[in-house]
Amino acid sequence: MAETTSEQPAASGNNDFYALSSKTITGKDYPFSQLRDKVVLIVNVASKCGFTPQYKDLEKLHQDYSDKGLVVLGFPSNQFGGQEPGSAETIQTFCQKNYDVSFTIMEKSDVNGNEENSVFKYIKAAKPGLLGLKRVKWNFEKFLIDRQGNV
Protein backbone atom coordinates (compact mmCIF):
# COMPACT_ATOMS: atom_id res chain seq x y z
CA MET A 1 0.00 0.00 0.00
CA ALA A 2 1.28 3.50 -0.81
CA GLU A 3 2.56 5.53 2.08
CA THR A 4 2.34 9.29 2.37
CA THR A 5 4.59 11.82 4.05
CA SER A 6 3.65 15.07 5.79
CA GLU A 7 5.55 17.12 3.17
CA GLN A 8 3.70 15.64 0.18
CA PRO A 9 0.38 13.98 0.92
CA ALA A 10 -0.96 11.61 -1.67
CA ALA A 11 -3.41 13.20 -4.03
CA SER A 12 -6.92 11.84 -3.93
CA GLY A 13 -7.32 8.51 -5.63
CA ASN A 14 -3.74 7.44 -4.90
CA ASN A 15 -2.32 9.25 -7.94
CA ASP A 16 0.88 10.72 -6.50
CA PHE A 17 3.93 8.75 -7.60
CA TYR A 18 6.08 10.49 -4.99
CA ALA A 19 3.87 9.26 -2.13
CA LEU A 20 4.82 5.65 -2.92
CA SER A 21 7.54 3.73 -1.14
CA SER A 22 9.07 0.31 -1.37
CA LYS A 23 11.96 -1.63 0.12
CA THR A 24 15.33 -2.37 -1.41
CA ILE A 25 16.58 -5.93 -1.73
CA THR A 26 18.51 -5.36 1.51
CA GLY A 27 15.29 -4.41 3.33
CA LYS A 28 15.89 -0.64 3.51
CA ASP A 29 12.94 1.69 3.12
CA TYR A 30 13.00 3.51 -0.21
CA PRO A 31 10.62 6.50 -0.22
CA PHE A 32 9.81 7.65 -3.73
CA SER A 33 9.82 11.27 -2.55
CA GLN A 34 13.59 11.10 -3.20
CA LEU A 35 12.82 10.58 -6.90
CA ARG A 36 11.24 14.00 -7.38
CA ASP A 37 12.68 15.80 -10.46
CA LYS A 38 14.26 12.54 -11.72
CA VAL A 39 13.40 10.36 -14.70
CA VAL A 40 12.69 6.87 -13.34
CA LEU A 41 12.86 3.60 -15.26
CA ILE A 42 11.07 0.81 -13.40
CA VAL A 43 11.66 -2.75 -14.63
CA ASN A 44 10.42 -6.08 -13.32
CA VAL A 45 13.46 -8.36 -13.52
CA ALA A 46 14.32 -12.06 -13.25
CA SER A 47 17.56 -14.05 -13.20
CA LYS A 48 16.51 -17.11 -15.20
CA CYS A 49 14.76 -15.54 -18.17
CA GLY A 50 15.69 -15.22 -21.83
CA PHE A 51 15.57 -11.45 -21.29
CA THR A 52 17.99 -11.54 -18.32
CA PRO A 53 20.91 -10.21 -20.44
CA GLN A 54 19.00 -6.91 -20.48
CA TYR A 55 20.61 -6.31 -17.08
CA LYS A 56 23.72 -5.30 -19.06
CA ASP A 57 21.82 -2.62 -20.99
CA LEU A 58 20.03 -1.40 -17.87
CA GLU A 59 23.39 -1.03 -16.14
CA LYS A 60 24.74 0.90 -19.15
CA LEU A 61 21.76 3.28 -18.99
CA HIS A 62 22.41 3.73 -15.28
CA GLN A 63 26.12 4.43 -15.85
CA ASP A 64 25.55 6.78 -18.79
CA TYR A 65 22.61 8.80 -17.48
CA SER A 66 22.43 8.67 -13.67
CA ASP A 67 24.37 11.94 -13.48
CA LYS A 68 21.70 13.49 -15.73
CA GLY A 69 18.88 12.43 -13.42
CA LEU A 70 17.95 8.91 -14.57
CA VAL A 71 17.18 6.40 -11.83
CA VAL A 72 16.87 2.71 -12.75
CA LEU A 73 14.95 0.51 -10.29
CA GLY A 74 14.83 -3.26 -10.75
CA PHE A 75 11.95 -5.16 -9.11
CA PRO A 76 12.57 -8.94 -9.03
CA SER A 77 9.45 -11.05 -9.44
CA ASN A 78 8.93 -14.80 -9.59
CA GLN A 79 5.46 -14.57 -11.18
CA PHE A 80 6.44 -15.46 -14.74
CA GLY A 81 7.50 -19.06 -15.17
CA GLY A 82 9.20 -19.18 -11.76
CA GLN A 83 12.18 -17.38 -13.31
CA GLU A 84 13.25 -15.56 -10.13
CA PRO A 85 13.25 -18.29 -7.47
CA GLY A 86 16.25 -17.01 -5.51
CA SER A 87 16.53 -15.36 -2.12
CA ALA A 88 17.46 -11.70 -1.77
CA GLU A 89 21.10 -12.66 -1.26
CA THR A 90 21.10 -14.98 -4.29
CA ILE A 91 19.56 -12.28 -6.50
CA GLN A 92 22.08 -9.66 -5.32
CA THR A 93 25.02 -11.99 -5.91
CA PHE A 94 23.74 -12.97 -9.36
CA CYS A 95 23.27 -9.35 -10.45
CA GLN A 96 26.68 -8.27 -9.17
CA LYS A 97 28.65 -11.28 -10.40
CA ASN A 98 27.11 -11.57 -13.87
CA TYR A 99 26.23 -7.98 -14.78
CA ASP A 100 28.06 -5.77 -12.26
CA VAL A 101 24.73 -4.13 -11.43
CA SER A 102 25.06 -0.93 -9.43
CA PHE A 103 21.53 0.44 -9.87
CA THR A 104 19.03 -0.16 -7.07
CA ILE A 105 17.40 -3.57 -6.89
CA MET A 106 14.23 -3.69 -4.84
CA GLU A 107 12.90 -6.57 -2.77
CA LYS A 108 11.28 -9.44 -4.64
CA SER A 109 7.55 -8.94 -4.98
CA ASP A 110 4.50 -9.69 -7.08
CA VAL A 111 3.72 -7.35 -9.97
CA ASN A 112 0.20 -8.71 -10.60
CA GLY A 113 -2.60 -10.10 -8.47
CA ASN A 114 -3.87 -9.66 -4.94
CA GLU A 115 -0.39 -9.37 -3.43
CA GLU A 116 1.05 -7.02 -6.07
CA ASN A 117 3.57 -4.38 -5.09
CA SER A 118 1.91 -0.97 -4.62
CA VAL A 119 4.32 0.55 -7.16
CA PHE A 120 3.02 -1.73 -9.91
CA LYS A 121 -0.57 -1.22 -8.82
CA TYR A 122 -0.04 2.54 -9.20
CA ILE A 123 1.75 2.30 -12.57
CA LYS A 124 -0.81 -0.04 -14.11
CA ALA A 125 -3.69 2.18 -12.96
CA ALA A 126 -1.95 5.24 -14.42
CA LYS A 127 -1.19 3.61 -17.80
CA PRO A 128 -3.28 0.55 -18.60
CA GLY A 129 -2.06 -1.59 -21.45
CA LEU A 130 -3.72 -2.62 -24.67
CA LEU A 131 -7.52 -2.85 -24.37
CA GLY A 132 -7.30 -1.29 -20.90
CA LEU A 133 -5.63 -4.34 -19.35
CA LYS A 134 -3.86 -3.67 -16.07
CA ARG A 135 -1.34 -6.51 -16.08
CA VAL A 136 2.40 -6.82 -16.43
CA LYS A 137 2.77 -9.34 -19.24
CA TRP A 138 6.26 -10.79 -18.64
CA ASN A 139 9.70 -10.17 -17.16
CA PHE A 140 11.62 -7.03 -18.09
CA GLU A 141 8.55 -4.95 -18.86
CA LYS A 142 9.59 -1.31 -18.53
CA PHE A 143 7.78 1.76 -17.20
CA LEU A 144 9.18 5.27 -17.61
CA ILE A 145 8.21 8.05 -15.22
CA ASP A 146 9.03 11.63 -16.20
CA ARG A 147 10.40 14.39 -13.95
CA GLN A 148 6.85 15.40 -12.99
CA GLY A 149 5.89 11.89 -11.83
CA ASN A 150 3.84 11.00 -14.91
CA VAL A 151 3.94 7.42 -16.17
Catalytic annotation, residues: 98
**Is 38:8 a contact under the CB 8 Å cutoff?**
no
Write out the H or E segment, with its range, that includes residue 120. helix 118-126
- Return the amino acid letter for 34: Q
Distance in angstroms (rounded) separating the CA atoms of residues 83 and 45 = 9
CA distance 61 to 51: 16
Closest to 31 measured CA to CA, from 12, 6, 5: 5
Contact by Cβ (8 Å): 37, 147: yes
Contact in structure between 150 and 122 (CB atoms under 8 Å): no
Regarding beta strands 21-23 and 70-76, do their DSSP bridges make them parallel or antiparallel, or are they unpaired? Answer: unpaired
